[in-house]
Amino acid sequence: MRVFTRVVDSGSFTAAANALGLSTAQVSRVVSDLEGHLQARLLHRTTRRLALTETGGRYLQRCREILLDVDEAEAEANGAHLRPRGRLRVHSLTGLGQQHLIPLISRYGEQHPEVYIELTLAQRQPDILEDGQDVVITRDRELPDSEYVAQTLGTIYSVLCASPGYLARHGTPRAVEDLREHRCLRLQDPTFPEGWAFDENNEGSVIRPRDTFMVNVAEALAGAARANMGICLLPSYVAAPALRQGELVRVLPEHRLHVRQIFALYPSRRFLDAKIRTWVEFLKEELPSAFDADERVLNDAKHWA
């Protein structure tokens, strides 16, 4: 199409060839191949001049429109690594998204108003390419072994919590072994399927709660604890708001369990879209501060049992 339009605009095969850096024979062959593909004559050729056929005139108009769209698409794609704009699909763990990402999305949007974020909250980690996600916020014990780029955003851990009402009725455990006498609520956690693994200060002991109550979402587990159902193990970003509001208190506060890293995963560093780059950089700057605020609440003795 570009060669054909250049021939028409130049008025000859030779002039078009000079402009395109091709030979006259190559230009002539391209136009002939195009006519063969279309099964239509586009140009009348004489030794002195070229003239568009009626079909060629209609085709030329459509070619100009199409090539303009192509040029605009290339310019937009070419600038995608420079200017954050368009839809950004983000997947996150439910609690982390509710407690921290939504406020950060608001602030990011003030800096980059041309970016529209589509946030999906779920416990499972999706297939980035199959699900069409741009960035996945996930947690793990160590850097995920995958073909994707992983940027570390911070560290979280889990703490034992219970409602004041439950502890008033059943007593407060003062040692890890005391937990065996309590109703312990469980979170489905494939990273730690063996149970509640305590830190090195307790020589790595593991408490395996009895089958009393299990749920797959940490926020629902916190709700069960608020309803006086028992003692639970909550990620720091879910525990902190409940402690701050006085709905739960921290049990055995000398223990931090299930320390994990939070990562931002995205497909590739090559030709990285500006909206992905700026979003990940923003998270790297802001999310650690949010985790630090959670930790201050968790370490405040007024929230301990």
Do residues 158 and 257 make contact, with C-beta atoms less than 8 angstroms apart?
Answer: yes
Task: Supply 62's token pair.
Answer: 């459509």
What is the pTM (predicted TM-score) of this model? 0.74
Residue 145 confidence (pLDDT): 61
Domains of the chain from N-terminus onward: 2-77 (1.10.10.10), 86-154+261-287 (3.40.190.10), 156-258+295-303 (3.40.190.10)
Q: Checking DSSP bridges between strand 184-187 and strand 115-121, what pairing results, if any?
A: unpaired
What is the per-residue pLDDT across 144-179, written as a single tens digit (0 to 9) for each?
666 788 999 999 999 999 999 999 999 999 999 999
Cα distances from 21 to residues 16, 27, 297, in angstroms, run: 8, 10, 69
Q: How much is the average pLDDT of 86-105? A: 94
Q: How much is the average pLDDT of 234-254? A: 97
Burial of 14 (0-12, 13-18, 19+ CB in 10 A): middle
**Alpha carbon distance 238, 240 (integer Å):** 6
What is the per-residue pLDDT across 14-53, written as a single tens digit (0 to 9) for each?
989 998 999 999 999 999 999 999 999 999 987 778 889 9
**Alpha carbon distance 121, 229 (integer Å):** 26
At 242, the pLDDT band (50, 70, 90 cuts) reads very high
At 202, the pLDDT band (50, 70, 90 cuts) reads very low
Arithmetic mean of pLDDT over the chain:
90
Decide if pLDDT at 140 tops 80. Answer: yes
Torsion angles phi and psi, residue 197, rounded to 5? -90, 115
Which residues have CB under 8 Å from 136's CB, separation 6+?
90, 91, 92, 125, 126, 128, 264, 265, 266
